[in-house]
Each structure stands twice: as C-alpha cells, then as structure tokens.
Amino acid sequence: MDPRRLVRASKYIARVLRHDPGRAGVRLDPQGWTSVDALLAGLGRANVRLSRTELDEVVAGNDKKRFEFSADRTRIRARQGHSVPVDLGLAPAVPPEVLYHGTVGRFLPAITAEGLRPMNRHDVHLSPDEETAARVGARRGRPVVLSVAAGRMHRDGHGFRVTGNGVWLVPAVPPEYLSAP
Ligand code: HQG
C-alpha cells in the first residue's frame, strides 16, 4: 500500500476510534472496540476505501502500534489516546522511578503552576525514555522534556497504567513531581 495512503487511513481511523466514531457511523463498546466490518463499511461511506488486507497493513505497519485487533480479529480499537469515554481495562502497574513528558516552552508556565493535565484526553501520557518524549514534544515545536518522579508519585498513591505499546498513563501530574531531566 502506498505509504501516504496508509498514513492518511491511519489518521482517519485514529480520529474515528479515539474521538469521533459517529464520523464513520460506528459505535464503540465500553472497552472501545468496534466491529472491523462496520468500520470498513463506515470508512467506505466516508470515501476512505480500504480492504481488510489493507486494514491489516495499517494496524501492523502503524509506527506506534496505535490500534489492536481482538483475539478473534473481528473487532478493532485504539490502544490509547481517546477523548470519548472508554474503559481500556488496563491493570494498575508500577512505573519506573522516572518517566518523561515531552512538551513545548509555551506551555511551561501553566505546567509549572498546575502540573500536567490530561487536556482533551483521559490521561496524561508519559514516555519511558527522553528520546520518545522529545518526539512527542516535537509535534508542537521545539521540544522540552520534563522528568516525572513516577516512583515517588506511585508511592504517594497515584495510580499508573501502561498500554500495550509502552505509553504510561496517569490522570494528572502535580507540579511537585516535575523537574528538568
Ligand atoms: C500540554 C501522541 C498547559 C502537554 C503522542 C501537551 C503521545 C499542558 C498538550 C500522545 C498542561 C496535550 C499524547 C497544562 C499538559 N497547561 N498545557 N497544565 N498539561 N499540557 O496531544 O502528551 O500520535 O493531548 O504537554 O505521541 O502531547 O496520538 O498530549 O503538549 O503519545 O498516537 O498539553 O499523542 O500519540 O497534548 O501526546 P496531547 P501529548 P498519537
């Protein structure tokens, strides 16, 4: 599949499965799953025509493994990043001592004052290494990487979860756990 078409399809599917299922006329179950057939039909109606084989390619070839199939491969969901309410069923996990968050300078005054907030998502997303965090920040400009004292937060009672593709999720990070790396 032409890589540009693949990226375009992947972006569209991410919008549908995370934020706007109605746009492709599909519904998500409480865990965020929708039927593969319904999704392909909905994509077709929205002029994003994909075969099942091409969808497999989008899921397998996705740089960040954003999507996953159910064990029987009849359903699909986004692994994280939703704004619509979903319960991903992720178990609480013990984070490493330090995690990282990539952002940009213009957000620092607010972040320093109020900590990291989930903004439009359900959770704040944290990365296991500085390099990944820098890539996340670079989506918005010159990246600034912050260290998060995740081990200390966890011992203080903050609940962490980790997605199947290594993104750490936490509802918020109060400013006292943030520092420059
Ligand atoms: C910032 C992508 C002001 C925060 C990436 C970020 C990631 C605040 C932006 C995933 C703030 C939210 C998530 C506060 C946080 N005041 N700004 N108190 N607290 N911010 O996109 O972490 O491609 O919701 O620093 O790779 O950038 O979608 O979060 O800049 O893994 O799969 O508000 O999205 O993955 O932006 O990115 P986002 P994020 P996908």
List helix spans (H) across the chain.
3-18, 36-45, 52-61, 108-114, 130-137, 150-155
Statement: residue 168 has pLDDT above 90: yes
Statement: residue 148 has pLDDT above 80: yes
Distance CA 47, CA 49 (A): 6
For 27-75, how does the pLDDT look when each residue is reduced to its tens digit (9 = 90+)?
A: 999 999 999 999 999 999 988 899 999 999 999 988 788 999 999 999 9
Rounded to the nearest angstrom, the distance between the alpha carbon of 125 and the centre of ligand 1 is 7
Rounded to the nearest angstrom, the distance between the alpha carbon of 177 and the centre of ligand 1 is 17
Q: Which of 65, 77, 107 has the most ligand 1 atoms within 8 A of CB, as the residue to mutate?
A: 107
What ipTM describes this predicted complex?
0.96
Q: Where are the domains of the chain?
A: 3-78, 99-179
Rounded to the nearest angstrom, the distance between the alpha carbon of 123 and the centre of ligand 1 is 9
CATH of the structural domain 3-78, one choice from 3.40.50.970, 1.10.10.970, 3.40.190.10, 2.60.120.10: 1.10.10.970
Architecture of domain 99-179: Alpha-Beta Barrel (3.20)
The predicted model scores a pTM of: 0.87
Statement: residue 173 has pLDDT above 80: yes
Distance CA 20, CA 18 (A): 6
For 60-118, how does the pLDDT look when each residue is reduced to its tens digit (9 = 90+)?
A: 988 788 999 999 999 999 999 999 999 999 989 999 999 999 999 999 999 999 999 99
Count of beta carbons in the 10 Å neighbourhood of residue 137: 22
